[in-house]
Structures are given as structure tokens and as C-alpha cells.
Amino acid sequence: MLPVPSHDPGPDPGDMPALSRRRVLLGGGRGLLALALVGTAAAACGSSGPPEPDPLEAELAAARADSELAAAAAKVGPPALAPALIEVSAERARHATALIEELSRAAGKPTPTPGAETTPASATAQSTPPAPPPRLQDVVAALRRSGENAAKLAPTLSGYRAGLLGSIAAACTTAWTVGLSPAEGPR
């Protein structure tokens, strides 16, 4: 019924001069960081400070951390909640994968192979659970924070990135308000 949203064709032409200049200044070795500035290149242009990291990097870190936390909580929490926590863990791992893809696309690099960079979240979760076992409320608090952060960031982005972060924010909010609540949960 509605057209499926398409990927952002790329940075606005207006951003290109700043971007190109930065790429030249920073050289190929730091190309990823330079390209990460797509959203902020205009503001950063002219300043002599270090380039700001791609805002999606923080979202990626949060997605991985949430995935690990939920996986760890699934092992120690009430068995009835384990399936929901495992689902949340898998969902945040998928967010991490999508964010890696977008970060790679923006940096003009091929997406890392699944074995290389997309699995550490779950792999680490299995091998090194955090010292104090996380409780359900820790996962809820983390998801709430992640949802709020993504919701703050999404409207400041544009094109595909705005949509991706919007979906991630909506998913985090749904996960803690419904996914980890009993059927008679908050209305």
C-alpha cells in the first residue's frame, strides 16, 4: 500500500565540499572518521578540534551492551521471563548489525562479514557475564535509556538514518513497555 522507504542516496551536495576537504586533511587512514561526519560536517568545518565520532557509534555500543545484558539476565532471572529476555537480546543484536551496516555504508567500506564484527555481542555475552548478575529492572532501565537516546538522536538525522534510528527507538520502547511486561502490563 505504501512505498517501502528507500536508502538515503547519500549526503546532500551542500555537505560535499566540507566532507571532501576533511577527507583530504585526514588522509585515507582516517577516512572512516572523516566520513562519519556526514551529519555534522557543516558545523565542524573550520574548527580545528578533533573530528566528532559518528553518532551511530554510541548507538552501536548501546545495542551491543543491551544485547549482552539481556542475554545475561535471561540466564539468572525467572525462567518465565527468559524467552522474552532472549528475544530482546536478539533484537538488540540485530540493531547492532544494522548499525554496523549503516556505519560501513557511510564510511564507504564493505560491511564486515558476520563472523568478524557482528557476533561479538552475543559471543561475549555467553563467555563473560557481568559480575553482579543483571536483574530484569536493569535490562528495563537500559532499554529505556537506549530508547530515549535513540529518540533524541533520530529527529536530528535525515533520510535513511532517521528512519533506522526511529525504528530502533520504537523497538527499545516497545521492548521494555510491552516485551518485558506481563500481558496485563502498562496500558
Is residue 147 within 8 A of residue 122, CB to CB? The reply is: no
**Residue 106 contacts residue 54 (beta carbons within 8 Å):** yes
- CB count, 10 Å around CB of 88? 28
Count the helices and strands in the chain (H runs, E runs).
8, 0
Q: How far is CA 25 from the centre of its chain?
A: 28
Q: Which amino acid is at 12?
A: D
Per CB under 8 A, the list member of 18, 84, 100, 106 interacting with another protein is 84
Query: Judged by CB under 8 A, does residue 8 bind another protein?
Result: yes
Among 75, 94, 105, 145, binds another protein (CB under 8 A): 94
Handedness of CA 157, 163, 164, 165 (dihedral sign): positive
Residue closest to 168 by CA, chosen among 180, 151, 155, 156: 151
Asked if 162 interacts with another protein (CB under 8 A), we say yes
Which of 88, 106, 139, 142: binder of another protein (CB under 8 A)? 88
Q: Is 3 in the site for another protein (CB under 8 A)?
A: yes
151 binds another protein (CB under 8 A): yes
* Residue 125 binds another protein, judged by CB under 8 A: no
> Which CB, 26 or 65, lies closer to another protein?
65
Question: Is residue 76 near another protein by the rule CB under 8 A?
Answer: no
Q: Binding to another protein by residue 177, rule CB under 8 A?
A: yes
Residues 96-115, interacting with another protein (CB under 8 A): 98, 101
Question: How far, in Å, are 47, 77, 159, 167, 171 from residue 67 at the CA level?
Answer: 36, 15, 26, 17, 13
**Window of 22-30, 34-42, 69-77, 177-185 that interacts with another protein by CB under 8 A:** 177-185
Residues forming the site for another protein (CB under 8 A) = 1-5, 8, 83-84, 87-88, 90-91, 94-95, 98, 101, 151, 154-160, 162-164, 166-171, 173-175, 177-179, 183, 185, 187
